[in-house]
Every structure is written in structure tokens, then in C-alpha cells.
Amino acid sequence: MAAGGRPEMLEVGAAQKIVLGSVPLLRAKSVAVDEALGLTLAADVLAPEPIPLFDSSAMDGFALRCADVAGATEESPVSLDMGALSRAGAPYTGPMGARTAVKIMTGAMVPPDADAVVMKEYTDDLGETVLIKRAAAPGDHIRRRGEEFAEGDTTLFAGMRVTPPVIGLLATLGFREVLVRPNPSVALIVTGSELKLPGEELAPGQIRDANSPALVAALRAIGIEPISAERVVDEKETIASSLGAALGRADVTITVGGVSVGDFDLVKDVAEEIGVETLFWRIAMKPGKPNYFGKKGDALLFGLPGNPVSALVSFHQLVRPALRAMSGRTRGDNDSPILARLEKDIRKRTHRLEFVRGRLGRGGGGEITVLPLTGQESHKLGALGRADCVILFPRDEHRLAAGEPVEVERLDWSAS
């Protein structure tokens, strides 16, 4: 226990493990392919047929036998009889006579007797004959049947997010429906008697609510429309009513504010009174120390700090990974820290892991650099708004010197 009887602060990595170890995997469901955008594949997708389905031409030109045009050049072209036409959707599948070429369009099926396509640019179309001005090698400009996927190949993997190219591939493979995991349902509750929305008149001591629009935007950025988003005053009965209702209808409830140790920080006590099991409270991180996490049945509760930067950084470190895990999403390349050369000294006094807002750049030698931004206080959104990363300032360090390598996490607010 820490001084005053409060529990020791939890390490950030330990808190993240508790969160990810507590999230339920949402049940998979089948949806129409055109409704799957932004969701997560729940199973590998196997090719039911070869892709491409048949040998096709990659160019406009002439399908022919390589042997018939051996030695053809600009100065000494080879004349072939003009055969049939093969175009997309109307293939020529009959035999080709000796020293005959078939005029072919891009995407059209290659006749069975042909083993190459010569581009139109290297021919002269004379009507009944065609002059071929370049020799061909077997397979030239032919897309072979099954060259991308053979029947039964794994084309997409469980855990992948459904993007427009994924939808295009599913359509190419002939799927009308696909098995996905849905996004979790999320309820947002922002506490604070002093908060007013932009446009509302401010009385003395009141401030505008940045947390409601910022957290709703953070959810929408990863493809989740909250089922409810409300602001409540710092009164026990009001918080209990809103929190109880949210936990009863949402997979995840996010509260903002009211999780510290002040007289009106009521969320933790109220949560425990209505049956939420506390899994942790207070993390050794800055910004974001007074983070709360609990669960009631399968319903998760995140209690984020009230300062806007603390709330958003906590969302990025704790809530966003949980929402992705619930929908079965695998980790992306942007989730792993990278090394960058620090452009300016930074110092801290706290004994906590600090997420220093910064901007990535490139040094003269091409190495990745990072510049710490001014305005690092947890109530100042300006630096976070300009930042594209956070510098990981280790708990036990108090100075990082310019020029040394530091670990950096990209601030990716998207669903990638």
C-alpha cells in the first residue's frame, strides 16, 4: 500500500495485460459483403476457385504461337494471318490455324493454342494480316489461371479488418456473405458539473466540454458509433443511474472524470456499489494516473481521467486496444514502438512512465527523428493536436538527452 492507505500504482504494461486478459471475444456473425466494411474477419477466407479463373491477356495485342514469330524484329517483321477476335466476355476458344494470330483485348481469354501475346505497339494491323515486329517468349503478357490463388489457398486471414480492397477480393472470389466479428457497443458518460458544450453560455467557473466531442470522435475514428453519449453532473444518484443503465446495454462503458481522490470524484465508489468488480485503479503513467478499470459480468468499465489529454492518451493506451481485441482484430504495424533520435533534451520529476507528445521527422542521414512539443501539461490539447507520436519516457529516467535514441509510439487514431 502507498502512503495514506491507497494501493500502489500499477505499471502501464501490467494494466494493459489486465485489460486484454479481461476482454471477451464478441460472437461472430455472417453479414453481406457490402455491409462488412470496417469489421473484422472472424475466419480465414479460402479461395473456392482459382484466381484468375482462366488464362487471360494482360495487354491489347495479338495472341499467337512463339514459334511462328521467332526472329521477328522491326527491320524484319513476320506476317501472320489475322484470325478471330477475343475480347473480355466474348472469348475465342476455337483452334488457330498455322501462322495465325488472334486479335485480343486486355482481360480476354487467351485461345488454347496460343502461348504468348505480343503488345499492339509492336504490330501493324493490315486487316487480313498482321505484321509482328518483335519475337515472343512463352507466357509473355499472359495472366495464368490460378497464378494469384489456387483453389483452396488462404486469401485473407482471421483478424484482418475489412477494407475496400478486401471487399473487392471477396467479390472476386464470389462471396455474397462473410463471417465477421462485430464492433463492440460503447456507451460514453462524461462527468462534470462545470461542463458546457460549445455554443452554450458559460457561467463563472464553467468550461467547455472537450471530452465528449473528442471521445466520440476517437470512437468514430475506429469505426464505432457510440450507442449513447451523455454528460452528467457530479451527483451520486445521477452517476449511479447513468452508469447502471450503460452497463446493462453496452459491451463497454467509458466514463470520463470523477476517478481521482477529490470529494466529487464519485465514479469508482458508485461503480463498486452497483456491483462492478474493480480490476485496477491508478496507473504509473503521465498523463493518465487516475485510470479505473472494472467489469460487471462481461460488461467492461473504463474510468478515464477528466483532463482532456489524459483522457485521450488513456483511450489510446487502454481502451482502443481492448475494443480491437473484442472484435478479434490483430495487432498492426503501427502498434509497435520504433526508435527515433531525440532532437531536444527532455526532463521529468515524476516516477512514472511519461507519454511525451512529439512529431516525427527525418535527419540528414535519413534516420527517424522526434521533436518533443511544448505544452505537455494534461489540460493542454494543443500539443496533442499537433503530435503524431508519443515518446516513451521511462519510469526510472529523469532526463533524456538530445541525440540519443528513444522509443516512440505512433499516435494512430484510425481503425488500421
Domain ranges of the chain: 3-26+183-326, 29-51+157-181, 56-143, 336-410
Tens-place pLDDT, residues 156-170? 999 999 999 999 999
Domain spanning 56-143, CATH architecture:
Beta Complex (2.170)
pLDDT at 279: 96
Task: Flag whether pLDDT at 97 surpasses 90.
Answer: no
29-51+157-181 has which fold? Molybdopterin biosynthesis moea protein, domain 2 (3.90.105)
Q: Is 192 left (phi over 0), alpha (psi -120 to 50) or beta?
A: left
The pLDDT > 70 percentage for the chain reads: 97
**Exposed, middle or buried, 21 (CB in 10 Å: 0-12/13-18/19+)?**
exposed
Lowest-pLDDT range of 159-163, 197-201, 243-247: 197-201
Contact assessment for residue 47 and residue 88, using Cβ atoms and an 8 Å cutoff: no
pLDDT at 356 over 70: yes
pLDDT at 357 over 70: yes
C-alpha cell of 226?
457510440
| pLDDT at site 179 | 98
Residue 295, pLDDT score:
96
pLDDT in tens, 257-307: 988 887 778 999 999 999 999 999 999 999 999 999 999 999 999 999 999
pLDDT, one tens digit per residue, over 52-96 is: 999 999 999 999 999 999 999 999 999 999 989 999 999 999 999
Task: Read off the pLDDT band of 1 (50, 70, 90).
Answer: very low
Confidence of residue 312 (pLDDT cuts 50, 70, 90): very high
Closest by CA to 152, choosing from 73, 229, 49, is 49
State whether CATH 3.40.980.10 applies to domain 3-26+183-326: yes
The pLDDT tens digits for 110-155 are: 999 999 999 999 999 998 999 999 999 999 999 999 999 999 999 9
CATH 3.40.1180.10 corresponds to the domain 336-410: no
Alpha-carbon distance of 257 to 323, in angstroms, equals 20
pLDDT of residue 7: 57
Q: What are phi and psi of 18, to 5 degrees?
A: -60, -45
- For 211, phi and psi rounded to 5 degrees? -70, -40
4-53 tens-digit pLDDT: 545 578 999 999 999 999 999 999 999 999 999 999 999 999 999 999 99
Average model confidence (pLDDT) across the chain: 93
Q: How far is the C-alpha of 107 from the C-alpha of 143, rounded, in Å?
A: 9
User: Would you state the pLDDT for residue 106?
Assistant: 97
pLDDT of residue 203: 83
Measured over the CA atoms of residue 50, residue 53, residue 59 and residue 62, the dihedral's sign is: positive
